[in-house]
């Protein structure tokens, strides 16, 4: 069963050729066989500790990116919610899509064994520009000449072969132009996994410490910040309207066919929001849910949760697609749940997809 990028309909071609389609195309995930819950999962989990008062001031790197310390700890990763429970909570969801969510199971214990520093915000347009200008790196959407995706109110998906939700790929679109207004304070989009890794490596060399993308486990641990609910702020999808930038009434004005999927109100942003426009979670991290999807380091493994190690799981050893997490400004509440998993090929660039960086403690590895 395929997964949506966010609210994107599923052309038949996508089911047939999931890995050949790049940006807007998400994937083909058949439900995994039922897997036994790890015996360790029966033990009570140690709640994630609150940030320590002695953790000191947030760290700011040479690009002006602010990092907050995330303390080592344990958490229960994934979601045990049944398709029936989700159908009740999300009455507008397509029933066939609920089966896709089996990759969130089993809920399993994960231990993050080392403190780490995580970007308080998604990487911004301004920060990415500093990286490009200082390093000479040419982002993939420019280098390969195919461009990115963008919003064009006159674009009609039904008139294109692939039926992508946004216009592209097109050289007029790139990290500098997603078709809607972005200041230097907005999260950069149309960046590939390879672009994100290149920025992390450059920053590591420059500062002598290790920067990288978070693993999927580190991302969910940091996003939950001790919570066990659908969203860090609770179970009710309505909490998104005051805590995250997702598919709301304002966004639905541009995509009226999906109005029913939107929250009942406005979160204040029809497109991306300047980073930090909503309150942070208990770890002091902003926009873990919504605004832009965030690349993670891992290869995606549909059945990985059934066999992943307890300590610092880092994803399968190989794969074809990389994990992205957290939902975006165009994501419906069902897919903005903290446990939801999605993925794309590493060269995918899209108007909904960005990243944040993790800074390891200690000298560069
Ligand atoms: Ca919004
Ligand atoms: Ca985000």
CA of 159 to the centre of ligand 2 (A): 31
- 123 C-alpha to ligand 2 centroid (Å): 10
Which protein residues have their CB within 5 A of the ion that is ligand 2?
287, 291, 326
Per-position pLDDT tens, the chain of length 365? 446 554 333 333 333 333 333 333 332 322 223 333 333 334 455 555 554 444 456 889 999 999 999 999 999 999 999 999 999 999 988 888 898 899 999 999 999 999 999 999 999 999 999 999 999 999 999 999 999 999 999 998 888 888 888 999 999 999 999 999 999 999 999 999 999 999 999 999 999 999 999 999 999 999 999 999 999 999 999 999 999 999 999 999 999 989 988 878 999 999 999 999 999 999 999 999 999 999 999 999 999 999 999 999 999 999 999 999 999 999 999 999 999 999 999 999 999 999 999 999 988 88
Cα of 106 vs centre of ligand 2, distance in Å, is: 24
- Ligand 2 centre to CA of 288 (Å) is 4
pTM across the whole model = 0.87
Give how far the C-alpha of residue 67 lies from the chain's centroid of Cα atoms, to the nearest Å.
Answer: 18
Task: Please give the order of strands across the beta sheet that includes 353-354.
Answer: 341-344, 322-325, 293-299, 353-354
Measured from the alpha carbon of residue 244, the closest ligand is: 1
Rounded distance from Cα 3 to ligand 2 centre (Å): 18
Alpha helix ranges (H) inside the chain = 12-16, 83-89, 95-98, 125-135, 140-143, 193-207, 216-224, 240-243, 249-252
Separation of CA 40 and ligand 2 centre (Å): 31
Model pLDDT for residues 320-365, shown as the tens digit of each residue? 999 999 999 999 999 999 999 999 999 999 999 999 999 999 888 8
Residue pLDDT, tens place only, 149-188? 999 999 988 888 888 889 999 999 999 999 999 999 999 9
Which ligand is located closest to the Cα atom of residue 251?
Answer: 1
CA of 208 to the centre of ligand 1 (A): 38
């Amino acid at each position: 069963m395929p997964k949506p990028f966010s609210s994107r309909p599923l052309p038949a071609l996508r089911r047939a050729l999931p890995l050949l389609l790049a940006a807007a195309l998400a994937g083909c995930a058949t439900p995994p066989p039922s897997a036994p819950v790890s015996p360790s999962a029966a033990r009570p989990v140690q709640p994630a500790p609150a940030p320590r008062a002695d953790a000191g001031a947030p760290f700011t790197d040479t690009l002006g990116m602010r990092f907050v310390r995330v303390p080592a700890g344990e958490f229960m990763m994934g979601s045990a919610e049944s398709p029936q429970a989700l159908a009740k909570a999300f009455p507008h969801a397509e029933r066939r899509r609920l089966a896709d969510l089996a990759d969130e199971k089993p809920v399993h214990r994960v231990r993050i064994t080392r403190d780490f520093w995580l970007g308080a915000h998604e990487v911004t347009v301004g920060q990415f520009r500093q990286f490009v200008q200082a390093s000479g790196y040419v982002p993939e959407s420019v280098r390969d000449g195919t461009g990115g995706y963008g919003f064009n109110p006159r674009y009609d998906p039904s008139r294109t072969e692939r039926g992508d939700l946004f216009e592209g790929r097109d050289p007029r679109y790139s990290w500098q132009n997603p078709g809607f207004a972005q200041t230097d304070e907005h999260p950069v989009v149309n960046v590939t996994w390879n672009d994100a890794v290149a920025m992390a490596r450059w920053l590591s060399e420059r500062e002598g410490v290790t920067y990288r993308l978070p693993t999927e486990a580190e991302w969910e641990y940091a996003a939950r910040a001790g919570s066990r609910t659908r969203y860090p702020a609770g179970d009710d999808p309505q909490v998104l309207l005051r805590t995250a930038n997702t598919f709301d009434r304002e966004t639905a004005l541009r995509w009226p066919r999906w109005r029913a999927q939107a929250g009942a109100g406005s979160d204040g942003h029809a497109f991306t929001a300047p980073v930090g426009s909503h309150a942070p979670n208990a770890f002091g991290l902003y926009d873990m849910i919504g605004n832009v999807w965030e690349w993670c380091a891992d290869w995606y493994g549909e059945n990985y949760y059934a066999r992943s190690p307890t300590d610092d799981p880092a994803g399968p050893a190989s794969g074809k697609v990389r994990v992205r997490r957290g939902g975006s400004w165009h994501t419906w509440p069902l897919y903005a749940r903290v446990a939801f998993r999605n993925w794309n090929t590493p060269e995918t660039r899209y108007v909904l997809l960005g990243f944040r960086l993790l800074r390891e403690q200690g000298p560069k590895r």
